[in-house]
Amino acid sequence: MEELTKTFHALKEWAIAVNALEMGKTIMLLRKGGIHELRGRFQVAHDEILLYPTYEHQQPFLLKPEYANFVCPVTSGWRPETVRIGSWAKITDIFPVTQESIVNALLPFHLWNEYFISDRLKWKPRQPLYILLLRTYKLPQVQEIPYRAEYSGCKSWIDLAEVIDLHRSQPVLSNSAYTQLVAEIRSIVNDKLYVPGA
């Protein structure tokens, strides 16, 4: 596979989650899609993406205490002048999950709490909750890009006006550490999947 050297595709995610990915505290995101997603469903538009931090909808009560304490609340409609882009990621695995028992078993691997899990599964109950595993890479230098109005809104994917150079990026976790985490998560998902007639 050809190595990605630059991109302008980005995934919007809570700043606290982007920070956790960049610090190697998690490799997992849970998504069900924004209001403005294509056909109202979450879809992965690109599997190698910049991580774009958002602040407006961060809810401390949906996070484990060790993460909730670091959320800085902002007023509704607040917009930054610039956006910090410090990392990018490869989405290596995607698991659509509908069973609360599976997501609860994955609790040690992400930053959200039980209330978030229950809330996400109940919202649009016919649609699965997507477990995304991301191999995160830190950019050699943090990029501060101007905020643009087209970046706003409840959507997962945006294209930045700037192309970001990914040369000399460093993986947050080693190959062995990342592979081990993925294997543990896959075993939980596969072990708990309900197969009719099995």
Q: Can you give the pLDDT at residue 192?
A: 56
Cα distances (angstroms) measured from residue 59 to each of 67, 68, 74, 166 = 10, 8, 10, 31
Q: Can you give the pLDDT at residue 195?
A: 44
CB 15 within 8 A of CB 175: no
Q: Can you give the pLDDT at residue 193?
A: 52
Q: Can you give the pLDDT at residue 138?
A: 98
Domains along the chain with CATH numbers: 6-192 (2.30.130.30)
SS3 content of the chain, % helix, strand, coil (to 5): 30, 35, 35
CB 150 within 8 A of CB 12: no
Q: Can you give the pLDDT at residue 16?
A: 95
In whole angstroms, what is the distance from residue 82 CA to residue 93 CA? 31
**Phi/psi of residue 129, nearest 5 degrees:** -90, 130
Per residue of the chain (198 residues), give pLDDT as tens: 457 789 999 999 999 999 999 999 999 999 875 534 455 556 677 889 999 999 888 888 899 999 998 887 887 778 889 999 999 999 999 888 888 888 889 999 999 998 888 888 887 777 888 899 999 999 999 999 999 999 988 788 899 999 999 999 999 999 999 999 999 999 999 865 544 443
Residue 191: other Cβ atoms inside 10 A = 9
